[in-house]
């Protein structure tokens, strides 16, 4: 089948890889002129890790990834107030099947695994679609028109495919009240190699991680009830400055350097909750279908699991798209909902609403330095109670 995949982030190229492996003809269309760079580091385990392993990219992810020796909470003056060793806790619970890697590196590794075998169109997007039951006629913003057997929206949280096929975002989005900014700076000091240093106050958290090549990655999460500007980095940076005004630690110095950021990403921490991920010949995967939000720490891994499962289902059903869409939704819907429900309650860890929440958060963080407590509290969330379909053959 000819399958148009809209979006070359994490879910889209994963789906293209597995569709190629099962004899289909995927075309990727990506709005950006090239693969998008930037974003935070991704903790990668569970079903997503299994899919990456089946794609043969785990050695590369390990090589390009990081093994943090400490997660450290500091006070406004920079004094360490709590800490734990994330690698031993998480690797123990995930039995070594775990890697922390930059989002860009993950996306690039997946895309490279396709080996140039899928047609990829950069700098274009879907403008409109018409599903006549037998084919989907797509009009691109460039004016080109083409027909496909299936269209899959892998175009992220603000999916255009979802808008066109299922209706407006507000019908499916659940905003968790927290906005996320991730950006990197060259030559920032101090570095604290392989330590994730964070400072949390009421309403906001700032986290800093030293990357390779002299770069430093920052992730800020803050409570925000208003709109978040879309595709407008100066307006996003102005919002970040306003929301972090008055915060201690290194934050004023970090904000002063914002204009020099190499990459800058900002979005709402939102979930997408839909009763079904398909309509006719159009389906959704990844954030477009079921974003769990940054707070879940699982968006990329789930996106890969969804893409893999969809491709396997199309193979198993001999291309019966209705049966395949229903089967992949049935296999993953419970896992996704469990992750979403868990993440919805994690806001106080990233941006406590008040002083009581802040103190409780810091106390819990401190307890994680006790290995048994850490294993008990994090162990369950590090295992995905789902069985992936076997690697498709033939």
Residue 66 carries which DSSP code? Answer: B
When asked if residue 9 is in the footprint of ligand FAD (CB under 6 A), the reply is yes
Taking CB under 6 A as the rule, which mask of x and - marks residues 289-328 in contact with ligand FAD? Answer: -----x----xx--x-------------------------
Q: Taking CB under 6 A as the rule, does residue 184 contact ligand FAD?
A: no
Q: What are the angstrom distances between the C-alpha of 316 and each of 162, 291, 308?
A: 25, 26, 12
Q: Is 39 in the site for ligand FAD (CB under 6 A)?
A: yes
Q: Tell me: does residue 265 bind ligand FAD (CB under 6 A).
A: yes
Which one of residues 154, 210, 220, 382 is an interface residue with ligand FAD (CB under 6 A)? Answer: 154
Among 21, 24, 31, 331, indicate the residue that binds ligand FAD (CB under 6 A).
31
Whether the Cβ atoms of residue 74 and residue 80 lie closer than 8 Å to each other: yes
Determine which residue in the list 180, 239, 251, 261 makes contact with ligand FAD, applying CB under 6 A: 180
Least CB distance from residue 286 to ligand FAD, whole Å?
2
The residue range among 33-41, 192-200, 310-318, 380-388 that interacts with ligand FAD, by the rule CB under 6 A, is 33-41
Is residue 160 a contact point for ligand FAD (CB under 6 A)? yes
Smallest distance, ligand FAD to C-beta of residue 389, A: 20
Q: Confirm or reject binding of residue 347 to ligand FAD (CB under 6 A).
A: no
Nearest distance from C-beta of residue 8 to ligand FAD, angstroms:
5
The interface region with ligand FAD, picked from 128-136, 144-152, 286-294, 350-358 by CB under 6 A, is 286-294
Rule CB under 6 A: is residue 12 a binding residue for ligand FAD? Answer: yes
The alpha-helical segments, DSSP class H, found in the chain are 11-21, 46-54, 58-64, 86-93, 103-113, 160-166, 233-243, 251-256, 287-290, 299-316, 321-344, 347-350, 355-367, 371-379
Strand arrangement of the beta sheet that strand 282-284 belongs to: 119-122, 25-30, 2-6, 150-153, 282-284, 278-279
Helix 46-54 and helix 299-316, axial crossing angle in degrees, nearest 10: 60
CA 199 to CA 201: how far, in whole Å?
7
Q: 247: alpha, beta or left, given left = phi > 0 and alpha = psi -120 to 50?
A: beta
Residue choice 43, 50, 73, 287 for contact with ligand FAD (CB under 6 A): 287
Letter string b/e over residues 72-94, b meaning 16 or more CB atoms within 10 A of that residue's CB: bbbeeeeeeebbbbbbebbbbbb
C-beta closer to ligand FAD: residue 82 or 304: 304
Does 239 help bind ligand FAD (rule: CB under 6 A)?
A: no
d(C-alpha 251, C-alpha 253), whole Å? 5
Residues interacting with ligand FAD, by CB under 6 A? 6-12, 29-32, 36, 38-40, 103, 125-126, 154-156, 160, 180, 182, 265, 286-288, 294, 299-300, 303
């Amino acid at each position: 089948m000819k399958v148009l995949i809209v979006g070359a982030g994490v879910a889209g190229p994963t789906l293209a890889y597995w569709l190629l492996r099962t004899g289909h003809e995927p075309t990727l269309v990506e709005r950006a002129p090239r693969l998008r760079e930037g974003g935070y580091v991704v903790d990668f385990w569970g079903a997503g890790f299994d899919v990456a392993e089946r794609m043969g990219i785990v050695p590369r992810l390990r090589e390009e990834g990081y093994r943090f020796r400490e997660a450290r909470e500091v006070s406004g003056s920079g004094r360490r107030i709590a800490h734990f060793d994330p690698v031993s806790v998480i690797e123990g619970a995930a039995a070594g099947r775990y890697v922390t890697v930059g989002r860009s590196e993950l996306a690039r590794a997946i895309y490279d695994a396709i080996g140039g075998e899928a047609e990829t169109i950069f700098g274009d997007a879907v403008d409109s679609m018409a599903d006549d039951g037998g084919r989907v006629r797509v009009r691109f913003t460039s004016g080109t028109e083409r027909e496909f057997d299936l269209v899959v929206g892998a175009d992220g949280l603000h999916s255009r495919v979802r808008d066109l096929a299922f209706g407006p975002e507000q019908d499916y989005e659940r905003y968790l009240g927290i906005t996320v900014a991730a950006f990197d700076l060259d030559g920032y000091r101090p570095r604290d190699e392989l330590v994730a240093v964070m400072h949390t106050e009421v309403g906001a958290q700032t986290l800093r991680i030293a990357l390779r090549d002299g770069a430093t990655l920052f992730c800020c999460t803050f409570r925000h009830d208003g709109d978040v500007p879309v595709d407008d980095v100066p307006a996003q940076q102005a919002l970040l400055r306003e929301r972090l005004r008055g915060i201690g630690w290194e934050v004023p110095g970090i904000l002063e350097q914002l204009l020099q950021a190499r990459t800058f990403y900002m979005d709402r921490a939102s979930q997408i909750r839909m009763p079904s991920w398909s309509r006719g010949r159009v389906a959704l995967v990844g954030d477009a279908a079921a974003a769990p939000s940054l707070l879940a720490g699982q968006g990329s891994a789930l996106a890969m699991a969804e893409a893999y499962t969809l491709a396997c289902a199309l193979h198993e059903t001999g291309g019966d798209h209705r049966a395949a869409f229903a089967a992949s939704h049935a296999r993953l819907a419970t896992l996704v909902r469990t992750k979403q429900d868990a993440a919805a309650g994690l806001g106080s860890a990233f941006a406590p609403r008040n002083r009581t929440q802040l103190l409780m958060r810091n106390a819990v963080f401190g307890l994680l330095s006790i290995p048994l407590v850490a294993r008990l509290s994090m162990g369950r969330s590090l295992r995905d109670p789902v069985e992936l379909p076997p690697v498709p053959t033939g």
